[in-house]
Structure 1
Amino acid sequence: MSFLTRTYPFKQSKHLLKDSSIFGFIIWVILYFLQPFEFCLYQGNKCFVAALFGLITFGCHATYAATILKYLHQTIKPWRIWHEGVAILGLIFIIAFGNFLLFSYLFHYTITFSLFLLFLNWTIIIGIFLTTLSIGMQYNRTLRERMEELLRNTTKEQEEVSITIHDTNVRGNDLSIAINDLLYMEAQKNNVSVCFLKEGNVVAVDIHTTLTHALEELKEFENIFQCHRSFAVNVNNITSARGNSNGYQLTLGNCTNIIPVSRRFVPKLKTYLT
C-alpha cells in the first residue's frame, strides 16, 4: 500500500495529439498486421476497418486526456501512483466502450453487456502493452527534461570556475581547465585519461594519477560523479542517459564515446535527476 500512495514521478504529458496519434497508429498496426481476436476471419477491407478502430482509439484518448484527465490533475494534488492507476483503468474503459460501439455498428452485433465485457477484456490485453509504452515515453521525456534543467542551472553557476588535476610525476604537467569543459575521466592503468572540450573540440590528455586521487581533489564539486569504478563524469555535460536499474549508458557533450554507469552507482545518478 505504501507504494501506491507515493507521489507519481512523471508529469502529465503536454504532447496530447502526438501521444494519441501513436496509440491510434499502434492499434492499427496490431489489428492489420497481427490480426488478433479472430480479426483474420474478416473478409472485408481489413486495412480500412483497422484504421477506424485506430481512429476511435485516437479520439477516445485525446478526449479523455484533454477533459477528464486534465481536470483530475488540476484538482488532485499530489498526484499519486494509485491515482494514475485508476486514471489508466478509466482510459481503458472509455477506449473499450468506443471501439465496442464501432464493432457493433460495423458487424451488426446486438449491444449486450456480455459482449461489452468480452471487448473490455480484449482492450485490457492490448492496454497492458500501451500502458507500458506510455510509461516508457513519460520516463524518457521526464529524464530528458531534467537533464536539460540540470545542465542549464549548474553550468551557469560554474561559468567562472576552473579546476586543476595534478600529475603525481615529479616532472609531470598539471591540467587546469574550466569545470564546464570537463566531460569525463577514465582510469587507465597508472594514468587517468581526462576528456574535455578545448575550443569546441573533444580532447583527451593522460595524467599520471589515480581516479581516486583525482576525485579527492575535486570532491567539493557535486557535479563530478563517479559512475563506474573506471569512470567519473561531469553531470553538467550529460546529453543523454539510457538504461534502467541494472545500469545506464551516458553520452556527454559532442563526444561520441559511451560512458557506462554500473548498477551500484545508478541510485546516485537518479538523485541528480529528481
Structure 2
Amino acid sequence: MRFYINTEYLKKEIEYPKRYQSQNLIKSSVVVFLIILIFLLLFKPFGVYDPELRMHYFFICFLHAFIPALVLLLYFGVLYYFRKAKNRIKWTLLKEYINIGILFIVIGTSSFLIRDLLYNNPNNWSWNYFFEEIRNCFVAGIFFYFVLRLSSFYFESKKGSSFVLQFIPLVAEPKKTSLNPNIFISTQVKQDDFSLDIDQLLFVKADGNYIELTKYSGDQITTEVKRISLTQFESQIADYPHFFRCHRTYLVNIFKIQNVTGNSQGYLLSFNETDLKIPVSRKQIDSFNNYYQELRKKYIA
C-alpha cells in the first residue's frame, strides 16, 4: 500500500494558536507540569532504579515535570515575541510539528544535563544516556501532545469556544464561470423589479417581505433594500450555485467568504470587504461543509 501524506493540509495557513500566545502560555505550562508530575508519580516510567537516586523520588519527578513546563514557557514565549514583532501571525500544522520536535530535543537535552544532580551513576555523561533522554522525551512527548490536543478540542467545543476552521477562500477560474453576472430580478410589484450584478453581491439578509442586499463595488460597500422575500429571490438565482442559504435570514456568496470561525452552535463567516459576520446556523453546518467541498471540486480542482 502506498504511503500518502497530505502536504497541502500541513502547509495550509491558519491563525497562530492561542495556546502558544503569551497570555495563555503560563496556563499551558502549568497544565503540562501537573500532567507530567502525576504521570511520573503514578507509573514510574522508563525503568527507575532506586539505589541510584540522589534525592527522594518525588523531587526527581518534580524536576522532570518542571523542566518541560519551563522550556515550553520560554521557547514559545520567545517564538511568539519575535513572530509578533515581525507581524508573522500565520501558522501551519507543519510549523507546529517542526517546533514541537525542536521542543522535545531541547527538553531531552535539559533532562540529560541534570542527570548528575538526580542520579548517582558514573555513566551520566555518556552518549547512551543522552540519546536515551531524547528518545524518552519523544516517546512521552508525542503521547502527551496528542492527548492534550484532543482534550483541548473537546473542551473548547463543549463550552462553545471559537476555533479556526481549515477554510481556503474560493476563487473561481473565469473559464469555469460562464454565467452572465447581470441578472434581472422580478418582484411582486412590477415597478420594483431591478437589475443586479451578481458578482458584486456579498450576502442577502431577509427582513419580512423585504431583503437587504449588501454589495461591494468600486472599493465601497453599499446596501439596498428591495421588496421581495428571500425565498423568492433565492429561486431566481438558482442558476448561480455559489449562493448558499446558510441561515433562515441569510443567503451568502461563498466565493466572497474569506474566513470561517465557529463552535458547536454554528459558524461565523467573514469577508475582506466588511467587518460584518454572517452566521451559519447549527442545522446548516453539515450542508455548508458539503456545499463548500462540492464548489471547490467544481471550480478549483
Query: Equivalent residue for 1:103?
Result: 111
Q: Does 1:182 find its partner at 2:201?
A: yes
Matches within 5 A, 1:2-17: 11-13=9-11
Q: Secondary structure at the match of 2:114?
A: helix
Cα offset, 1:231, TM superposition: 0.6
Amino acid in the other structure paired with 1:106: I
1:62-82 CA-to-partner distances (Å, cap 9, x unmatched) read xxxxxxxxxxxxxxxxxxxxx
Partner AA of 2:260 in structure 1? A
Q: 1:184 to 1:120 in 2, by over 3 A?
A: same
User: Which whole-Å CA distance do the structure 1 matches of 2:10 and 2:164 have between them?
Assistant: 13
Percent identity between the two aligned chains: 17
Letter aligned with residue 249 of structure 2: S
Unaligned runs of 5+ in 1: 1-6, 59-87
Q: Equivalent residues in 2 for 1:125-144 (5 A)?
A: 125-130=144-149, 140=164, 142-143=166-167
Aligned to 2:268: 249
Deviation at 1:238, TM superposition (A): 0.9
Residue 35 of structure 1: CA displacement? 5.0
Higher gyration radius (CA)? 2
Distance 1:132 1:184 in 2: 36
Structure 2 stretches of 5 or more lacking a match? 38-58, 79-96, 157-162, 297-301
Matched to 2:11, the amino acid is: S
- Residue number in structure 1 paired with 2:186: 166
**Equivalent AA in structure 2 for residue 105 of structure 1:** L
Contact 1:241–1:250 (CA under 8 A) maintained in structure 2: yes
SS of the aligned residue for 2:192 comes to coil
Superposed CA deviations along residues 150-201 of structure 1, whole A, max 9, x for unmatched, are 224369836852123323224x322322211011111101211111124332
- 1:259 paired with 2:278, answer yes
Residues 159 and 198 (structure 1), Cα distance of their counterparts in 2 relative to 1, 3 Å cut: farther
Distance 1:31 1:185, change over 3 A: closer
Q: Which amino acid aligns with 2:220?
A: N
SS of 2:11's equivalent in the other structure is coil
Displacement of 1:235 in angstroms is: 1.0
Contact 1:28–1:54, Cα closer than 8 Å, also in 2: no
Shift of 1:216: 0.5
One-letter amino acid matched to 2:171: L
The equivalent of 2:43 in structure 1 is: none
Matches within 5 A, 1:11-90: 11-13=9-11, 30-31=28-29, 36=34, 37=37, 50-51=70-71
Match of 2:257 in 1: 238
The residue that corresponds to 1:79 in the other structure is none
Indicate the residue corresponding to 1:74 in structure 2. none
CA shift at 1:227, angstroms? 0.5
Q: TM-score, normalised by structure 1?
A: 0.59
8 A Cα contact 1:96 1:120, kept in partner = no
CA deviation map 1:127-157 (0-9, x unaligned): 43357789x9xx95741xx21xx22436983
Counterpart residue identity of residue 180, structure 1 = D
CA distance in 1, matches of 2:11, 2:175: 27
C-alpha distance 265-34 of structure 1, shift in aligned 2 (>3 A): closer
TM-score (normalizing by structure 2): 0.55
For 2:111, the aligned partner's letter is F
Q: Does 1:217 align with 2:270?
A: no
User: Partners of 2:282 and 2:72 in 1: how far apart?
Assistant: 45
Q: What is the letter of the counterpart of residue 196 of structure 1?
A: K
**Separation in 1, partners of 2:101, 2:25:** 15
Matches within 5 A, 1:185-200: 185-200=204-219
Q: How far apart are 1:272 and its partner, in Å?
A: 1.2
1:157 to 2:165 alignment: no
Kept in 2, the 8 Å contact 1:31–1:39? The answer is: no
Deviation at 1:105, TM superposition (A): 2.0
Task: Write the deviation string for residues 10-52 of structure 1: whole angstroms up to 9, x where unpaired.
Answer: 622378xx99xx69xx88874489854379966xxx8999348
Alpha-carbon spacing, 1:165–1:99, altered in 2? closer, same or farther (3 Å): same
Q: Counterpart in 2 of 1:228?
A: 247
Q: Could you tell me how far apart the structure 1 residues matched to 2:283 and 2:262 are?
A: 13
